[in-house]
Structure 1
């Protein structure tokens, strides 16, 4: 009978250890997910900055091309009038 009680106590201890491990694993997973989430937010901020930079370059290129085209057409029509 004592052996049975000891086995039950050992099983209770093992069950508590397993539940503690599961809890620790859950905490570790939550911590890892928070780290990944933080990294993804940093990447998102970087991508937003790059997108803004590319839009500025595109707008600047469009303006410069428009000015160049304006003066090219103006010079072309001047030569046609001659």
Structure 2
């Protein structure tokens, strides 16, 4: 995460504003994910929550393989 903004601006050619938005969205998603994971672990149990999270991560990684580069 430390060099994500540098990677986006230098290598991928994204604007500074877009890089800031991506880093901010990552932080907000991390905070929301921790809260949601706690609630789901209480309702579904730890094992079911972890299984759902890993399946969702796998699906998102497949989707990431087909993503297009961000606009400049």
Task: Judge same fold: TM > 0.5, yes or no.
Answer: no
Of the two structures, which has the highest relative contact order with CA contacts closer than 8 Å and spacing of 6 or more?
Answer: 2
Larger radius of gyration: 1
Q: TM-score, normalised by structure 1?
A: 0.35
Q: TM-score, normalised by structure 2?
A: 0.39
Q: Which has the higher helix share?
A: 1
